[in-house]
Amino acid sequence: MTSPFSLKDKVAIVTGSSRGIGKASAEVMARLGAKVVISSRKAEPCEEVAKSIRDEGFEAVAIPCNISRKEEIEALVAKTRSRFGPPDILVCNAAVNPVYGPLSEITDEAFDKIMSSNVKSNLWLCHLTMPDMAARGGGSVVIVSSIAGLRASENIAAYGISKSADFGLARNLAAEWGPKNVRVNCVAPGLVKTDFARALWENPSALEYRNKRTPLRRIGEPEEIGTVVAFLASPAASFITGEIVVADGGVMIS
């Protein structure tokens, strides 16, 4: 019997996968049999990750892409088709958060950058990949969002708004593409030990405060989110679409 978690011969694009949650997601999916595309802005870090996956005996290729540029997203998808074939899995992980502080202090430029990179780029990627998935009988899109989209914040308000918008994007795309067996889901991590979230966990007193308010009494590791992403991409999650899977150590229940 084939494992319901197997991703054998599936083609997966993972944005923001040169480090952190994206890297962990790509590594887990490669070990489950997927051919993974490592993508981030800079070529060298992407190739380092792809090489490490190939050194383990799995398939990976590096295709750099700045998600804020539509032409680069188009090139990412085209090069994926050329190297591996049409994508079966899309993981929208890349995101930006250039400012910390309340909405009353944010500039129009910063707000537009956050919404474009964190929401519109995901829609671009979906438009370019979901028709291929439908033509092949189905596929899976996983958007890495955040619990910041589920509650208010004094420090990352605009980022939270963009992550909340991703929930709406996933639900609507799931409804539109469900009849063609293309599933769309979100993962909403809590605080995870990544470079992206360093400002939120590198302060010892702030980390201690967060840990005390988290039922599991610790922050997450990238691999713990990567496995959730891989699950949602796999046949094991074949009846799940339009959902938000929270992985936060219990923060949202406390």
The answer to whether residue 199 scores a pLDDT higher than 80 is no
Task: Over range 130-151, report the average pLDDT.
Answer: 97
Give the global pTM. 0.96
Per-chain mean pLDDT for the chain: 96
Nearest by Cα to 233 from 62, 5, 3: 5
For residue 197, pLDDT beyond 80: no
Residue 201 has pLDDT above 80, yes or no: no
Inter-CA distances, 190 with 82, 153, 194, 236, 245, Å = 36, 13, 11, 23, 11
Alpha-carbon distance of 188 to 147, in angstroms, equals 5
- Whether the pLDDT of residue 29 is over 80: the answer is yes
Nearest to 21 by CA among 92, 99, 120: 92
- Interval 112-125 mean pLDDT: 97
- The residue count of the chain comes to 254
Segment 71-98 mean pLDDT:
97
Give CA–CA dist 208/201, Å, rounded.
9
Q: What is the pLDDT of residue 196?
A: 75
pLDDT at 1: 67
Copy the structure tokens of residue 59: 């398939």
Q: Which of 124, 159, 167, 231 is catalytic?
A: 159
Lowest mean pLDDT among 55-69, 115-129, 195-209: 195-209
What pLDDT does residue 17 have? 98
Q: Convert 29-56 to b/e letters by CB count within 10 Å (16 or more is b).
A: bbebbbbbbbbbbeeebbbbbbeebeee
Least confident of 9-13, 101-105, 144-148, 233-237: 101-105
Alpha carbons 196 and 199: distance in angstroms, whole number: 8
Q: Closest by alpha carbon to 207, among 226, 196, 220, 222?
A: 220
Digit-coded pLDDT (tens) for 209-253? 889 999 999 999 999 999 999 999 999 999 999 999 999 999 999
Q: Which of 168, 124, 175 is nearest to 150 (CA)?
A: 168
Amino acid code (one letter) for 242: G
Domains belonging to the chain, first-starting first, are 11-192+222-253 (3.40.50.720)
159 is catalytic: yes
User: What is the pLDDT confidence band of residue 203, given thresholds at 50, 70 and 90?
Assistant: confident
Please give the Cα distance from 125 to 171 (Å, whole number): 16
Given this model, what pLDDT does residue 132 score? 96
The region of weakest confidence among 96-100, 131-135, 177-181 is 96-100
Listed residue (220, 206, 117, 200) closest to 165, CA to CA: 117
Provide mean pLDDT across the span 192-217.
Answer: 86
